[in-house]
Amino acid sequence: MFLANENFPRPSILLLRQSNTIVQSIQEEFPGISDEQVLQIAKDNNLVILTFDKDYGELIFRHQLKNPPAVVYFREKGQSPLFAGQILLSILQMKSITFENSFTVVERENVRQRFYRTENGG
């Protein structure tokens, strides 16, 4: 379901896994790969990227990437390495949020989404 970018804290990955959330990890499986390779892995496996790297927005929107994977971009690191995992778990409880075909920006008190157009018309 999720692909944690290399900068996503390991304690948050473990917290998500303990909560039965499926998370693959770049730092565990493919350390050192490029952002473009991360995008391709997420796209090929229908995974949502979890990241603190704002470059994904530029790669997707400025370069008009066709049928990009969904991205959850965390703008804040919080006080604890569990922060991102805790925030994501609370977002997953919200019925109004869906990650499919979207670039989601997560801040401490706010979640914003920009939805993609896909070649399939979505």
Residue 122 lies in a domain: no
pTM attached to this predicted model: 0.93
Q: Per the structure, how many domains does the chain have?
A: 1
Q: pLDDT class for 27, splitting at 50, 70, 90?
A: very high
- Rounded to 5°, angle at Cα 118 from 93 and 75: 45
Residue 121 lies in a domain: no
The pLDDT value recorded for residue 120 is: 57
Residue 13 lies in a domain: yes
Mean pLDDT (the chain) is 93
Cβ within 8 Å of residue 2, ≥6 positions away: 16, 21, 22, 23, 24, 47, 48, 49, 50, 72
CATH code of the domain in which 18 resides: 3.40.50
Q: What is the pLDDT of residues 72-121, one digit of tens each?
A: 999 998 899 999 999 999 999 998 899 999 999 999 889 999 998 766 55
Mean pLDDT computed over 45-72: 93
Instruction: Determine the structural domain holding residue 8 and report its residue range.
Output: 2-115
